[in-house]
Amino acid sequence: MRTADIRTRFLDFFAARGHTVVPSAPLPTPDPTLLFVNAGMVPFKPYLTGESPAPWPRAASVQKCVRTLDVEEVGRTTRHGSFFQMNGNFSFGDYFKEEAIAHAWELSTTPVADGGFGLDPARIWVTVHHSDADARGVWRRVAGLPDERIVARGDEDNFWSMGVPGPCGPCSELYYDRGPAFGPEGGPAVDEDRYMEFWNLVFMQYERGEGPGKSGYPILGELPRRNIDTGMGLERMATLLQGVDNLYEIDETRPVLDRAAELAGARYGADAEDDVRLRVVADHVRTALMLLADDTVPGNEGRGYVLRRILRRAVRSMRRLGFEDRALPELLPVARDVMAPGYPEVVDSFARIAERAFAEEDAFRETLKQGTAVLDTAVAKVKALGGRSLPGRQAFLLHDTYGFPIDLTLEMAAEQGVEVDREGFTALMNAQRERARADARARKSGSADTAALREVLGAHGPTDWRAWEALETESRVLALLGPAGAVPVARTGEIVTVVLDRTPFYAESGGQDSDAGRLTGASVEADVLDVQRPLPGLVVHQVRVTAGELAPGDGVRAAVDPEWRLGARQAHSGTHVVHAALREVLGPTALQSGSYNRPGYLRLDFPWRGALGPALRGDVEEAANRALRRDLPVAVRWTTLPEAKELGALALFGETYGERVRVVEIGGPWSRELCGGTHVERSSQIGVVSLVSESSVGSGMRRLEAAVGLEGFDHLARERDLVTRLAEQVQAPRAELPDRIASLLDRLKAVERENQRLRAEATAGRAAALAGEAVDADGVRVVTTVSDEGRALALAVRDRLPARSPGVVAVASEQGTFVVALNRAARDRGLSASDLVKRLLDGRGGGSPDVAQGGGLPRERVGAVLGDVPRVVAGA
């Protein structure tokens, strides 16, 4: 059964049982504690924790997920991948244990012909929490499972929580016995390779308190509404139903692995280390495809760095397999084709995906060149000082600054006879990881205080929020909270969460960033860094104390930075203007599906097929700025939701609204939206709207970005200066600049094509001459030469040797690289390029049986090593 069919069958099963099918959320998540969705429940977290009412009593989804905490282990185990899909069914206070268990059992064991997965009931084992007698009883009653196949486990395995105070509960996991070929008998407690977990049922029924790890925290009591959160691993079910060994061999992964093996001249299953590299390539190429499809862009931090690292590990693994050409143009289309049945957007967006991926591979290839130069210099310095070990800080510099993988540093240093201070490197890496963990803990602390915040809300009621009418308020500190809960006092330099009885600060919502400003009191000054609404009605402020001390009960003046607020009002009103301009130019279907704005900047997502193009972009920008020039009035009115809809007000992207709603109008009906943000009083106060970019953010979804206010004028000024400099450099009037640049590019391309033709002719001519100079070594034609063309020349000469005669070509460069290429007749005779390189270079280097290379060959030894090739070939 194809993976796409398993996905469809799962959703159809739960749809028929009253579940609302919810589409997968994008991999990048707005959750501040995460970079990517890493579990099927993440999009449902507000409903499971009770922060928001669920729109449906029960739901089902197949959620895309990415986990990269242990990315170095990908491929070394056969049960975990960085990208995976989680089938989930959820109940929000509706059904509980008995129905959840019955659903899982029915779908798992119903025959395929009747809509199930057809697993043999006699081979299914389950685990339950040791205290959960209810679940054990349900498994006996619903599934008829004997006690020996219901295994009791402790908190580490069978009790779930988010790692912070909040909902928690026992789990029940389903395992399938794959047979004695996969390990010893005895159930999942004995061997989890033979007994593969494929479904986890979480019975969310308690609320936990503070505490470390997976156990040892107090259980505060029962939740008012019990929830169900389940996760069935799609790749694991595909592994079982397709009868393969592991998730790297299912229909959505194996074709990428096979193509990688074909390119590298490797055979999966022949060499353990090569198998790891092939699995890394298969996993990482698929992960990169899905991240790029969700508009993640390679970069140096956050989500972008994760994607960059994954792409580079895939490319590096191909190089270690002996394939040094561009790999992604060969592999990414394969991943696209296997994922398309479940995610057609990867086909629609492939041009954008490929452009970013191929550019990243090209940049990494350049990085490898730069890193190699830095490494060579460092190694030369070590040798000049009589040393034999490259310092760990130098290896870390290569890794952290140049993106140079440590395994590459180790390999290349060994080729030049130098060791690497691995302990020093590891210490620096561990320090960096600890900083990253501390940062993750800091991000997670926002949700760690939920219980304390509920106490504050219960004791003092909702925040008196005055952001719409005031920039300053006289306020009182109700509570100070840190990552571990309430704190008695905050001193200079400390960052704490502050709850005030009233505030003028806008809390981030509706796409608008939070306000910036200060808190000042008799003995304290503090900067406001962030403002959020973690609970309905409660506004909290993250502040850094810059002078003095702050304590609960203190009176403070809360003041918003007026320049910040002005910029925020311009950007939010600008978002409404751009939205209205879009609908004016493109029609009513161009409806905003997401937005973000902060002072000087706005972005807006909307459904549209294909790029807008310069003409349409110009029309939208002109319509927006015409609205600014008309100085349209901006008005706010309160009404009921039905009345607002009757007026034609737009309610956007699933926001929740109360009985009374706030309608913001710009020019009356021209722009009329439900909105809780801050706005200018007339459209001319926005200043200017300058569109900066328009791009794709998924299948059928586009994104506009714009600079507004002073930042808009700055953007236009920079564009003007750029055009002026270009016109001066190419010595053309501005009006003729596009034609002049196009002409120059055409000439450059023509010259490059001619250069490539001449180089190819030169290489071909030299290759033919060298092939004619081959010497005999025990029946093998051997060609040796010195050239900087390396691999290209070696392959060209090899292809000109007689196909039926064994042939070996060795090319050395004055820079110390050494390449060996064999034809098929030589390989059939038992020769291996990788073995020959290692023999000639004393164990250094490697590659595939037909092409291999090494480095670090001293210039004075080039002639001797080349002269030794015939003897080594004859001996081999």
Beta 58-66 vs 20-21: how paired, if at all?
Answer: parallel
Q: What is the DSSP letter of 623?
A: H
What integer is the mean pLDDT of 497-525?
Answer: 94
The whole-number pLDDT of residue 104 equals 96
How do residues 513-545 score in pLDDT, each as one tens digit? 999 999 999 999 999 999 998 888 899 999 999
Say whether pLDDT at 416 is over 90.
Answer: no
- Asked whether residue 242 falls in the same domain as residue 264, the answer is no
Average pLDDT over residues 796-822: 90
59 and 181 inside one domain: yes
Partners of residue 490 on adjacent β-strands: 550
Q: Indicate which CATH number applies to the domain containing 712.
A: 3.30.980.10
Q: Which residues contact 79 (CB under 8 A, 6 or more apart)?
A: 192, 193, 196, 236, 246, 247
Task: Identify the pLDDT of residue 403.
Answer: 67
In a domain, 442, yes or no: no
Split at pLDDT 50, 70, 90, the class of 861 is confident
Q: What does the mean pLDDT of the chain come to?
A: 88
- Inform me whether the pLDDT recorded for 15 exceeds 90: yes
Which residues does 756 contact at the CB level (< 8 Å), separation at least 6? none
Whether residue 647 sits in one domain with residue 502? no
The verdict on 78 and 20 lying in the same domain is: yes
Give residue 225's pLDDT band: very low, low, confident or very high (50, 70, 90): confident
Hey, what amino acid is at 605? Answer: D
Residue ranges for the known binding site are 572, 576, 675, 679
Pair 240, 129 in one domain: yes
| Position 407 in a domain | no
Structure token digits, residue 648: 């034609």
What pLDDT is attached to residue 300?
A: 65
- Under a CB-based contact definition with an 8 Å cutoff, are residues 466 and 503 in contact? yes
Residue 489 has pLDDT above 50, yes or no: yes
Quote the percentage of the chain above a pLDDT of 70.
94
What confidence tier does 801 reach under pLDDT thresholds 50, 70, 90?
Answer: very high
Annotated binding site for Zn(2+): 572, 576, 675, 679
Q: Please tell me the predicted confidence (pLDDT) of residue 440.
A: 47
Lowest mean pLDDT among 53-62, 609-618, 799-808: 609-618
Residue ending a domain, among 342, 370, 387, is 387
Exposed/middle/buried for 579, CB within 10 Å: 0-12, 13-18, 19+?
A: buried
Q: What is the mean pLDDT of residues 729-740?
A: 87
Give percent of the chain with pLDDT exceeding 90. 55
Highest average pLDDT, of 150-164, 207-221, 402-416, 661-675, comes from: 661-675
Please compute the mean of the pLDDT values over residues 730-734 and round it to a whole number: 86
Does 696 reside within a domain?
yes
172 by DSSP, 3-state: which? strand
pLDDT bracket for residue 167 (50, 70, 90) = confident
- Identify which of 24-28, 234-238, 834-838 has the greatest average pLDDT: 234-238
Write down which residue in 387, 415, 440 finishes a domain.
387
Residue 86 lies in a domain: yes
Q: Looking at the domain assignment, is residue 241 inside a domain? A: yes
CA distance 783 to 798: 9
**Please, what's the largest Cα pairwise distance for the chain?**
95
pLDDT at 700: 61
In 778-817, DSSP assigns E strands to 780-786, 807-812
Q: What is the torsional sign of CA 666, 606, 311, 287?
A: positive
Find the range with the poorest average confidence among 443-447, 745-749, 778-782, 827-831: 443-447
Q: How confident is the model at residue 437 (pLDDT cuts 50, 70, 90)?
A: low
With a cut of 80, say whether residue 446 has pLDDT above it. no
Nearest Cα to Cα of residue 116 among 6, 25, 2 = 6
Helix (H) or strand (E) holding 373: helix 350-384
Residue 215 lies in a domain: yes
Q: Are 581 and 550 in contact (CB under 8 A)?
A: no
The answer to whether residues 75 and 215 belong to one domain is yes
Q: Are residues 777 and 855 in the same domain?
A: yes
Domain-located, residue 804: yes
Torsion of CA 800, 805, 806, 807, to 10 degrees: -20
- Residue 151 has a pLDDT of 94
Which structural domain range is residue 7 located in? 3-247
* pLDDT reported for residue 816: 80
Domain count, the chain: 5
Q: How confident is the model at residue 668 (pLDDT cuts 50, 70, 90)?
A: very high
Say yes or no: 550 and 571 in one domain.
no
CATH code where residue 27 lies: 3.30.930.10
Phi, psi of 539 (to 5 degrees): -110, 130
Other beta carbons within 10 Å of 747:
10
Please give the pLDDT value at position 445: 39
CA distances from 805 to 614, 767, 778, 799, 829 (A): 59, 17, 12, 12, 10
Give domain status of residue 478, yes or no.
yes
Do residues 46 and 95 both lie within one domain?
yes
Q: pLDDT at position 2, please?
A: 94
Nearest in space to 834 (alpha carbons), one of 292, 76, 322, 263: 322
Q: Which CATH number characterizes residue 495's domain?
A: 2.40.30.130
- Mean of pLDDT values over 836-854: 85
Q: Tell me the residue type at 417.
A: G
pLDDT class for 443, splitting at 50, 70, 90? very low
Q: Which of 342-346, 427-431, 669-673 comes out lowest in average pLDDT? A: 427-431
In this structure, are 223 and 130 located in the same domain? yes
For CA atoms 461, 466, 471, 474, the dihedral sign is negative
The pLDDT score that the predictor gives to residue 652 is 61
481 vs 689: CA distance, rounded Å: 40
| Tokens 């059964």 belong to residue | 1
DSSP string, 526-579: EEEEEEEEEETTEEEEEEEEEEEEE-TT-EEEEEE-HHHHHHHHHHHHHHHHHH
Q: What is the pLDDT of residues 542-575, one digit of tens each?
A: 999 999 999 999 999 999 999 999 999 999 999 9
| 109, burial (CB in 10 Å: exposed 0-12, middle 13-18, buried 19+) | middle
Query: 70 with 162, same domain?
Result: yes
**Closest to 194 (Cα-Cα) out of 204, 205, 206, 183:** 183
Q: How far is CA 657 from CA 107, 513, 649, 678, 793, in A?
A: 37, 20, 13, 17, 69
Q: What's the pLDDT tens digit per position in 760-775?
A: 888 888 888 999 889 9
In this predicted structure, what is the pLDDT of residue 594? 82
Average pLDDT (342-350) is: 90
Q: How far apart are CA 318 and CA 288, in angstroms?
A: 15
CA distances to 462, 585, 693, 765 from 708, rounded to whole Å, are 34, 20, 13, 60
Residue where a domain terminates, one of 542, 560, 578: 560
- The tokens describing 833, both together, are 């390029």
Do both 789 and 676 map to the same domain?
no
> Which range scores top for mean pLDDT: 146-155, 293-302, 382-391?
146-155
Is the pLDDT reported for residue 116 higher than 70?
yes
Report the pLDDT value the prediction gives residue 457, as an integer from 0 to 100.
Answer: 86
